[in-house]
């Protein structure tokens, strides 16, 4: 559907959204009328460089030809069945992901929060069934983000934020440790602990990668204590950080992983993959979802999987960004990048200025610009992004 099909102007369309949609997001002030590859196009056909990638979703670019073809072909065959009959795209996809991630079993979901919800429920059920009802506690980390459903929002280690506040009593069974601090995890593990859950790179927390030492130490600690290591790779997975799953770049294998964003090329699909042992907690009736494993979403995901190739631009991009004035630090992993601005430079203002310069990025907290662009960006596009971002930061900084 395009704007021209509605008979509305862009201003009228925006007014309609403001009137009828429950707005919980700060909108970028343009109508995305269509998108292709590494660009979004507005109501006038003007191009915007996509360096937020639909928040890490558009890893193979918008409306990737292979994904579009797979979706079109699948919608003409079978669009929905529920998980009663077997379907071909799901059968092809389960094997691909399990083999690539080193996991034994997988269960599909529709969103990142749901994939985390499934992972948390699996660990709690395993603890309950094997050790009794108290052994369901999960240690997560301050500044983490795991989603906005009941367990996932409580797992999110931001107790004073709008994510937690105002919803009354949240589920019990979560404790928050300090990220990249093994001693703080050690101090929290007790007889009721069943798992530790973390992002390999804290995205919403400010693009903070786990250190090698922390990741490996945590795996060893979980083994020593006989508890599970649960990885939230909703944002970091599917080649964003240079390997299929980010944990592979650390040489660490968790007991379960939640994945979502990039896996559908824009179609909503998510999953939780686990070892045979942990997955055994999910017996019939323990978990389910109407749309999960939908054939169209699975067909899109197979196309994304087959299309993806390793990218090598992350290091170059980060090095170029680090040369910009007004920047304190650039950190990240692969093409999961955070630019920490000098004190007093407001990231939201920079983001808004970038939109006017037709560069799309997101802002975190008061002074961090996050970029999770399509993995298909070229060196020239990375260079152009640095030029525009640098210009916009200077405008906001006034120097």
Ligand X SMILES: Cc1ncc(COP(=O)(O)O)c(C=O)c1O
Nearest distance from residue 36's CB to ligand X, in Å? 23
Residue 203 contacts ligand X per CB under 6 A? yes
**Position among 38, 43, 74, 111 found at the interface with ligand X (CB under 6 A):** 111
Of the two residues 267 and 386, which places its CB atom closer to ligand X in the complex?
A: 267
**Position among 38, 109, 116, 140 found at the interface with ligand X (CB under 6 A):** 116
Of the two residues 145 and 214, which places its CB atom closer to ligand X in the complex?
A: 145
Please choose, from the candidates 205, 211, 269, 282, the residue with its C-alpha nearest in 3D space to the C-alpha of residue 237.
269
**Position among 53, 89, 127, 147 found at the interface with ligand X (CB under 6 A):** 147
Buried b (16+ CB within 10 A) or exposed e, 309-341: eebebbeebbebbeebebbeebbbbbbbbbbbb
**Position among 67, 113, 210, 386 found at the interface with ligand X (CB under 6 A):** 113
CB 148 within 8 A of CB 113: yes
Nearest distance from residue 335's CB to ligand X, in Å? 15
Count of chain residues binding ligand X (CB under 6 A)? 15
Of the two residues 147 and 254, which places its CB atom closer to ligand X in the complex?
A: 147
Of the two residues 259 and 296, which places its CB atom closer to ligand X in the complex?
A: 259
All residues at 6 or more sequence positions from 318 whose CB lies less than 8 Å from its CB, including other chains: 330, 331, 332, 337
The strands making up 174-177's β-sheet, listed across from edge to edge, are 105-109, 270-274, 256-259, 228-233, 193-198, 137-141, 174-177
Interface positions, 48-87, toward ligand X (CB under 6 A):
55
Measured distance CA(176)–CA(196) in Å, rounded: 10
Structure tokens at 106: 């997988």
**Taking CB positions, which residue lies at the least distance from ligand X?**
112
Give the total residue count for the chain.
Answer: 399
Identify the residue whose tokens are 């929290």.
Answer: 188
Nearest distance from residue 148's CB to ligand X, in Å? 6
Interface positions, 219-248, toward ligand X (CB under 6 A):
232, 234-235
Residue 112 contacts ligand X per CB under 6 A? yes
Residue 141 contacts ligand X per CB under 6 A? no
CB 331 within 8 A of CB 348: no
Residue 373 contacts ligand X per CB under 6 A? no
Residues lying near ligand X in the complex (CB under 6 A) are found at: 55, 111-113, 116, 145-147, 199, 203-204, 232, 234-235, 260
């Amino acid at each position: 559907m395009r704007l021209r099909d509605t008979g509305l102007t862009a201003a009228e369309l925006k007014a309609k959204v403001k009137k009828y949609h429950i707005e919980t997001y700060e909108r970028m002030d343009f109508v995305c009328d269509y998108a292709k590859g590494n660009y979004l196009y507005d109501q006038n056909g003007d191009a915007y460089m996509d360096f937020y990638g639909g928040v890490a979703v558009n890893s193979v670019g918008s409306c990737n030809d292979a994904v579009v073809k797979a979706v079109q072909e699948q919608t003409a065959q079978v669009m929905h069945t529920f998980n009663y009959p077997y379907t071909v795209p799901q059968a092809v996809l389960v094997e691909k992901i399990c083999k690539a991630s080193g996991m034994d079993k997988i269960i599909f979901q529709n969103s990142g929060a749901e994939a985390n919800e499934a992972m948390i429920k699996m660990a709690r059920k395993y603890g309950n069934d094997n050790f009794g009802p108290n052994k369901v506690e999960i240690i997560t980390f301050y500044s983490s983000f795991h989603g906005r459903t009941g367990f996932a929002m409580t797992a999110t280690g931001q107790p004073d934020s709008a994510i937690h506040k105002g919803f009354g009593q949240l589920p019990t069974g979560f404790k928050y440790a300090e990220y990249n601090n093994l001693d703080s995890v050690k101090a929290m593990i007790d007889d009721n602990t069943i798992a530790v859950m973390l992002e390999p790179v804290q995205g919403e927390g400010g693009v903070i990668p786990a250190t090698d030492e922390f990741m490996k130490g945590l795996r060893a600690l979980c083994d020593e204590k006989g508890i599970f290591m649960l990885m939230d790779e909703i944002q970091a997975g599917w080649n964003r950080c240079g390997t299929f799953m980010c944990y592979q770049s650390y040489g660490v294998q968790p007991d379960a992983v939640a994945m979502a964003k990039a896996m559908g090329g824009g179609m909503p699909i998510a999953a939780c993959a686990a070892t045979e042992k942990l997955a055994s907690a999910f017996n019939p009736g323990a978990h389910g979802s109407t749309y999960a494993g939908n054939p169209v979403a699975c067909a899109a995901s197979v196309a994304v999987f087959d299309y993806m190739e390793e990218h090598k631009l992350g290091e170059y991009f980060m090095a170029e960004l680090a040369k910009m004035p007004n920047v304190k630090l650039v950190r990240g992993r692969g093409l999961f990048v955070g630019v920490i601005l000098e004190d007093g430079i407001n990231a939201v203002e920079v983001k808004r200025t970038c939109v006017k310069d037709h560069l799309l990025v997101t802002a975190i907290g008061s002074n961090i610009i996050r970029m999770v662009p399509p993995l298909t960006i070229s060196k020239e596009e990375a260079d152009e992004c640095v030029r525009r971002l640098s210009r916009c930061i200077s405008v906001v900084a006034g120097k």
